[in-house]
Structure 1
Amino acid sequence: MNPIKATASFLILLAVIITLNAKIGPVPPLGAFLDPEAGFWANAVTNTAESETLDIPGLQEEVTVYFDERNVPHIFAQNEHDLFLAQGYIVARDRLFQMEMQTYDAAGRLAEVVGPQLLQRDLNTRRRGMAYGAEQAMEAINQDSLISSIVNAYADGVNAYIDELSPADYPVEYKILGIEPETWEPIKTAYLLKNMTRMLAGRHNDVRTSNTIQYFGDDFVEKYFTRKPELNDPIIPPSKEWDFDGDIPPSPDSLFTPSVSKVIDPFPFQEGIGSNNWVVSGEKTASGYPILANDPHLGLSLPSIWYETQLHAPGINVYGVGLQGSPSIIIGFNEQTAWGTTNVGSDVMDWYEIQFRDESKQEYWHDGQWKPTTQRVEEIKVRGENTVRDTVIYTHHGPVFEVETSTGEDGPVYHALRWIAHEASNDLRTFYGFNKMENYEDYREAVNNYTAPAQNFVFADTAGDIALWITGKLPKKWEHQGRTVSDGTDATYDWQGWIPSGQNPHIKNPERGFVSSANQESAAPNYPYYLDDDFAPYERGRRINDLLAEMNNITPQDMQRMQMDSYAYNAATIIPEMIAWTDRSKLDETELEVLDLMSNWDFHMDAEKSAPSVYLRWFNQFYRAVWSDEFEGTEANLRYPARDIFVEVIKNEPTMAFVDDINTPEVESLGMLATQTFKETVAELTEEYGPDIESWQWGYDIDNDLNHIAQIPGFGAQDLFTSGSAEAINAVRGTHGPSWRMVVELGPEVKGWGVYPGGQSGNPGSPNYDNTIEAWRTSQLFELNFLRDEPEEYQYKLELSSRN
């Protein structure tokens, strides 16, 4: 053999071997990844699941898990320890990667498993105090022997599954990333729950409102942020009378004027968060028993944020959905009761401008004296690079950030964060109570244990009671406290304790025969305490209440149809006006055809209609045309007026000064803006979809995607043809929307229906990965197989026991 050719062949072979077994950037070692026995091919599910008997360390007695045709597990245990251990095992079996990634994110450890591209996200997470908050929560959990034992049993179940895995068995995402599962510590459950607080109670307007006051004055803020729209319809209606006076702390003599900041938040609030829930009393239903409906609006992903399960043991029989990594059912029902939840717009995140004594930041001025700070060193491992050590300064308010100003301040400006997520919390005690409750008194006791994120918990029971409590630790505040950046040197701006839980807004068995919430304002102005000035727009809540007020002889199917209602309240309020303002003489033939289409529209955001595509783009462009010249002409971040207030003002004041574009020599009128933005909208849709108006269907323009939780291409589902919108009860929009639709009819035999987009399995190679997407898209809720006793018929079962 030619030695040169032989050497060349050997070097090529060596290069191939090295390449196939080396990780290059985000690409896994291709040799291991393509291995037909241990690579990603091993994750393909090609056979039907069969019943098995498994040895699960730690079980005290035998557990049987029955799986139905949708692969929903029904866990039957003989004691609660085994019940929650088995829950941990079964959830990990289907969703291990999702469980771990959620807690890696909440702990600020993504760079450790992915690489330096996620270092900044981790730094922001640590600086925001997520790890500190989880540690506080874990201390509270450990002081509760019952909940601590449940969390530990759940962790033992997760670890029992991890311990039986070989690399060939790892979920495919681990193979793509070239990582392996780690031991599940109980604190990971605390991280998961704190992550929900970040998602649902991680927003503020402090900086934007402070800046807006300085640019436009107090009258502007009073008009656009303090005043409520005429169509406002609060969760607790004005008819509710309160039998207490608020214990309101004293306010300062004059409000603090902070520095104008360019930086809003190093970890901005996730838009699209919301939810609907309602309960109708038996007086309004065909069965004579209450019906409860809930559809939490969260990020839509594959796999789903939820996992469907039934838990059955002595003293507990509950069905619903839970979060991967947390024991118990979060939303669901049992044999006597049902409950659901929506998020509360409470102001539980405040920023304080801090005055340090010197550059060492060892002391800060507060309440007339210098007080010591504390330091927390965060160590962040970075894959392929050195560990990063970040020192975070803490005051009694919380962690401190340096912010950038647009006022030419001498020296840096610092903000400290006071946030409910830093509070010790044991929220699992609430959900454990929900799982076992039998009546209103049990429900009331359970909500009393809840901290954050604040929730509107609706309730119904077989005795006929219905109720809604706005639940969570809510700080006592003077009116509008925390709406702007606070003076960190003045104790008057500190949180002054908590509203007693019994004085949180609530209502039981109202005369109108229903309770409901859709993230709108919590209570009417007669409620004695200040909560916030920034709630969801009234549209969804008012539409729900309008429909329920007119309905009688209600069935569960009526509630399911109502969850899919696509009526756009804002469109009905403003589009007729915008059409009237539009100058038809300036429109061409196609534009006139589109305007006529809008004139005949019924204001439903239906997938097959083109008018919704026109509406949303036109309104958004019109809104920007009014405000962007003033608001984008400054380096400071300003708070834009809410949609509902803007519509009310522009209808009543068509010549208001903001209509004119300050960047042009002419004076713009409302008609000019409406006409101009309408023409721009038609041109935009024509360019994107072509001249055929029928091709502008909303189902395409809504851009409804279910992305994989790790954004891995090919593992998601894109461009679902769906109805709905942010202002409709069916609040589908982009990558957000109803993450779990549930309807429960109480009675002698409680019945439930539900669906979420995706499937039970987190494995893209499983037929149960995405098998419920079409049912979710078309609102085909499955009747939930709520078992009272162990079944004789099932798809397959697992018999779990411990030989130890």
Structure 2
Amino acid sequence: MRLVLGLLAVLLLGAGSGFVTLRQSLPRLEGEIRLAGLSAPAEIQRDRYGIPHIRAQTLADAVFALGFAHAQDRLWQMEMNRRIAAGRLAEILGPGALETDRFLRTLGVRRVAEANLRQIDAETRRLLDAYAAGVNAFLATDPVLPPEFWLTGARPEPWTPVDSASWIKMMAWDLGANWRSELLRMRLAKTLPLARIHEFVAPYPGEPPPEIADLKTLYGTLERDDVQLAEDATRLLALAPGEPPDGVGSNNWVVSGARSTSGKPLLANDPHLGLTAPPVWYFAHLSAPGTNVIGATLPGVPAIVLGRNDRIAWGFTNTGPDVQDLFIEKLDGAGNYLTPEGPRPFTLIEETIKVKGAPDEKLRIRVSRHGPVVSDVSRLAQQQAPRGYVLAFAWTALAEDDRTLQAAHKFAHARNWSDFLAAAREFQVPQQNMVYADVDGNIGFIAAGRVPVRKPENDLKGLAPAPGWDARYDWAGWMPFEELPQSYNPASGRIWTANEKITPPGYAHFITGEWQPPYRANRIAELLDAVPKHSVGSFARIQGDVLSLAMRESLPRLLATRPRSENARRALELLQRWDGTMAQGRPEPVIAWGWWRELTRALYADELGDAFKPNWAPRAVFVANVLAREGDHARWCDDVRTPAVETCEELLALSLETALAELARRYGADMASWRWGDAHYARHEHRPFGRQPFLARWFDILVPSPGDTYTVNVGRQDFFDEQRPFANRHAASLRAIYDLADPEKSLFIHSGGQSGNVFSPHYAAFTDAWAKGEYIPMLTSRATLDAQPHQLLRLIPSP
């Protein structure tokens, strides 16, 4: 309420001093500024899109200027990001943020980042220090702060290298939430046999369920009541910031010159992330002796993460490896936990959480040999008797010898495949499917990152929480770099990844049992095959494709439904003439996804009980198996809460009726007037004001969008959001197409704007073009940039 009143006060002042002051929070973009920390003059030339083109006489000065530009444009985002990573939100947001802070302090991202900084090489540390100096040089100019600082009362502290290192780990957290499905299996084992758990958490299409131990038997043998363990799992599911299973990931592909109109490679990449305002990415161009690189940066991190230099281009998708395991640690009643060698004391860490408007909170963190005890953030777990069990969390990103920071700037300076592989060798978290192309005509791929080796006798394979006292479940090192999936100049002249299974039959190592469904990957393959030689234009059309193979697969079985009403008959007639294209101007996607939502509710809400809502998702492979009556899947159509045995035919007809009534309530009675773009608008949520309805109207960015959870142009909807169940929350955070015949003809776009200041014309400048599948040029030529509208800021070393 205080935030709302604060903004109201600003608005009531109108054109008065409050509004003028906040307008002054826009940074100075032209002229000359004297700054301490530079070794020589540098310049930031912002083009008409607000993209900074930084030119300096040393790489360290260029990185300093990047830190300065990041702070000018994204200071609040950087402040929020570092507070998230450090578990310090309650300091500025109050007691409502305590639960998140407790969890993140327990996870220990910042503690591990501090340890990682002691492992990195001198050059990487020099660049981190230069970047922090650039951020702090901006703070030293005593700027008028963006409105979020005014509304929360927060003040930015000096930036440090550990802030940068911490945010890299939070990005890894966002891309690796396997522990969520482990908790789900543990929770389901309370009521369902293993066979039904395998049906619901469906295996990769065409493959049998994994052979693992019977979970109910395993958890039932524990001395502590397995019902309580299931309740703790439910509590942790609510805390887990991981994503529902489908629609998470990215796309990339590359073709050789033999498959392009130019005779040189083309490379495309569109990482899929949660939509935020401002967006995750910030475009920048760095030029210094030996450096000329442009692409996407993460505010707070001194690196071009995805992009191109004068010789190579690269792009990532998430491999989705299983790099997180939960371990059930058995307590001995004396404060220790059981290991294969006997009892061992926990490592204890004491922390203090400062809370705005409330007393400080003391937090005691326990760490086992596997990792932090995450069940301690659950009040249910804290209330248990001394003798019992706790859940500890193992994650590759918590390794103190992680050197991922070293890889970032090395990608930007790679000149060939050998250099690129050398950088990839140091990239450890999160594992990524990296595609590569160079001006000499070479293309390549490697799934780089640290993946744990699980022992042959491990009968859980990382798919469910394992007994921590049993050595067979311990990790046995890391997969050798040379044995990671990789390819160089394949005979087919093309490579693509979309989070699908990337390992060939007989591959020696276990990476994950939870690959993303192959719908996007199969559609990309279809479209690559459809054109003998590709161009930048054909790649753009692939990135914009909105034909849903998941919907196309199940549509015939949906259409076999017998309508119970005239309304249902009309809906089926519309769907009969539709091919599954998720166009924003059509009603059919609204009908189809409204129906699918009610169908999934009817299929598994009864079996999941209180675990239903946090796990309510489209689950296309599971639904397709049910509709095809695969094996015993038809039993999911029966509502176990009733004495009758319902059939799939009944369920389909009833869920259609329910859906049409709900859609009419939301969008009006005339289904022909429904538009997918209205229901499926892309919502870029501001942190934290997107959770405050009044403030969200000012800070969130909304735009109609096409696509669905399974299209190449992805737009994942969250069924569990009762207010906005079809809104697009997770999509292409950026799109880039690299032309190695003429890198200056490369294109990119991200989903928002360069500025994080709501008063800036660059706050949402890209959003409409992004939603339409349009791009902006990826330019580095000084002559071209000078000839276009721009703003030039000179940074001069202070005496």
TM-score (norm 2): 0.89
Partner secondary structure for residue 797 of structure 1: strand
Change (3 A) 1:162 1:41: same
Q: Is the 8 A contact 1:512 1:549 kept in 2?
A: no
1:280 aligns with 2:255: yes
Counterpart Cα distance in 1 of 2:432 and 2:321: 9
1:309 aligns with 2:278: no
1:397 aligns with 2:370: yes
Paired residue for 1:174, among 128, 145, 149?
A: 149
Partner secondary structure for residue 453 of structure 2: coil
Shift of the alpha carbon at 1:641? 10
Change (3 A) 1:503 1:69: same
Shift of the alpha carbon at 1:221? 4.6
Counterpart Cα distance in 1 of 2:462 and 2:207: 26
1:796 aligns with 2:791: yes
* Alignment correspondent of 1:109: 88
Q: Is the 8 A contact 1:473 1:499 kept in 2?
A: yes
Q: Is the 8 A contact 1:152 1:186 kept in 2?
A: yes
What amino acid sits opposite 1:366 in the alignment? T
Shift of the alpha carbon at 1:209? 1.9
Counterpart Cα distance in 2 of 1:35 and 1:723: 37
Paired residue for 1:771, among 765, 784, 790?
A: 765
- Structure 1 unmatched runs, 5+: 1-22, 233-251
Paired residue for 2:314, among 322, 335, 339?
A: 339
Shift of the alpha carbon at 1:567? 0.6
Shift of the alpha carbon at 1:128? 1.9
Worse-superposed segment, 196-205 or 218-227: 218-227
1:374 aligns with 2:317: no
Q: Is the 8 A contact 2:455 2:475 kept in 1?
A: no
Counterpart Cα distance in 2 of 1:602 and 1:730: 16
Paired residue for 1:710, among 682, 685, 688?
A: 688
What amino acid sits opposite 2:754 in the alignment? Q
Change (3 A) 1:654 1:595: farther
Worse-superposed segment, 600-609 or 748-757: 748-757
Shift of the alpha carbon at 1:340? 0.8
Worse-superposed segment, 48-57 or 509-518: 48-57
Partner secondary structure for residue 531 of structure 1: coil
Counterpart Cα distance in 1 of 2:268 and 2:641: 50
Partner secondary structure for residue 297 of structure 2: strand
* Alignment correspondent of 2:293: 318
Counterpart Cα distance in 2 of 1:30 and 1:679: 44
Counterpart Cα distance in 1 of 2:78 and 2:26: 25
Counterpart Cα distance in 1 of 2:763 and 2:613: 45
Paired residue for 1:87, among 41, 59, 66?
A: 66
Shift of the alpha carbon at 1:382? 0.8
Shift of the alpha carbon at 1:125? 0.9
* Alignment correspondent of 2:489: 509
* Alignment correspondent of 1:660: 638
Change (3 A) 1:113 1:197: same
Q: Is the 8 A contact 2:205 2:517 kept in 1?
A: no
- Provide the aligned C-alpha RMSD in A: 2.9
Change (3 A) 1:419 1:689: same
Partner secondary structure for residue 67 of structure 2: helix
* Alignment correspondent of 2:392: 416
* Alignment correspondent of 1:724: 707
Paired residue for 1:126, among 105, 108, 114?
A: 105
Q: 1:380-417: per-residue Cα shift (whole Å, max 9, x none)? A: 11112221110001111111124658xx9995431111
Shift of the alpha carbon at 1:129? 2.1
* Alignment correspondent of 2:38: 59
Shift of the alpha carbon at 1:99? 0.7
Paired residue for 2:230, among 261, 268, 275?
A: 261
Q: Is the 8 A contact 2:187 2:611 kept in 1?
A: no
Q: Is the 8 A contact 1:290 1:746 kept in 2?
A: yes
* Alignment correspondent of 1:135: 114
* Alignment correspondent of 1:12: none
1:440 aligns with 2:408: no
Q: Is the 8 A contact 1:211 1:636 kept in 2?
A: no
What amino acid sits opposite 1:341 in the alignment? F
Q: 1:359-379: per-residue Cα shift (whole Å, max 9, x none)? A: x52x22101311222101121
Counterpart Cα distance in 2 of 1:181 and 1:695: 48
What amino acid sits opposite 2:549 in the alignment? Y
What amino acid sits opposite 1:623 in the alignment? T
1:598 aligns with 2:589: no
1:753 aligns with 2:729: no
Shift of the alpha carbon at 1:537? 1.6
Partner secondary structure for residue 379 of structure 1: strand
Change (3 A) 1:223 1:121: closer
* Alignment correspondent of 1:530: 510
Counterpart Cα distance in 2 of 1:593 and 1:721: 25
Paired residue for 1:674, among 631, 652, 656?
A: 652
Counterpart Cα distance in 1 of 2:745 and 2:139: 35
What amino acid sits opposite 1:801 in the alignment? I
Worse-superposed segment, 484-493 or 412-421: 412-421
Counterpart Cα distance in 1 of 2:286 and 2:149: 29
What amino acid sits opposite 1:726 in the alignment? T
Worse-superposed segment, 602-611 or 264-273: 264-273
Worse-superposed segment, 559-568 or 208-217: 208-217
User: After the TM superposition, which residues 482-521 of structure 1 pair with which residues of structure 2 at under 5 Å, given as runs?
Assistant: 482-521=462-501
Shift of the alpha carbon at 1:764? 1.1
Counterpart Cα distance in 2 of 1:719 and 1:31: 25
Q: Is the 8 A contact 1:519 1:536 kept in 2?
A: yes
Equivalent residues, number? 753
Change (3 A) 1:433 1:369: same
- Structure 2 unmatched runs, 5+: 209-214, 690-694, 717-727
Q: 1:262-296: per-residue Cα shift (whole Å, max 9, x none)? A: 22433331345421111111111100111111111
Q: Is the 8 A contact 2:546 2:708 kept in 1?
A: yes
Q: 1:143-176: per-residue Cα shift (whole Å, max 9, x none)? A: x10000000000000000001024xx11111111
Counterpart Cα distance in 1 of 2:774 and 2:292: 25
* Alignment correspondent of 1:243: none
1:780 aligns with 2:774: yes
Counterpart Cα distance in 2 of 1:298 and 1:56: 36
Larger C-alpha radius of gyration, 1 or 2? 1
What amino acid sits opposite 2:358 in the alignment? E
Q: Is the 8 A contact 1:212 1:639 kept in 2?
A: no
* Alignment correspondent of 1:20: none
What amino acid sits opposite 2:308 in the alignment? F
Q: Is the 8 A contact 2:682 2:705 kept in 1?
A: yes
Partner secondary structure for residue 626 of structure 1: helix
User: After the TM superposition, which residues 354-369 of structure 1 pair with which residues of structure 2 at under 5 Å, given as runs?
Assistant: 354-358=329-333, 361=335, 363-369=336-342
Q: Is the 8 A contact 1:336 1:461 kept in 2?
A: yes
Counterpart Cα distance in 2 of 1:155 and 1:546: 46
Partner secondary structure for residue 482 of structure 1: coil
Change (3 A) 1:461 1:636: closer
Shift of the alpha carbon at 1:58? 1.0
Q: Is the 8 A contact 2:331 2:387 kept in 1?
A: no
Worse-superposed segment, 692-701 or 268-277: 268-277
Q: Is the 8 A contact 1:76 1:83 kept in 2?
A: yes
Counterpart Cα distance in 1 of 2:60 and 2:701: 41
Counterpart Cα distance in 1 of 2:256 and 2:445: 12
Partner secondary structure for residue 125 of structure 1: helix
Q: 1:189-229: per-residue Cα shift (whole Å, max 9, x none)? A: 01111111221123322232234456433434555557431
* Alignment correspondent of 1:608: 585
Q: 1:304-345: per-residue Cα shift (whole Å, max 9, x none)? A: 111111001111100001000000101101111001111121
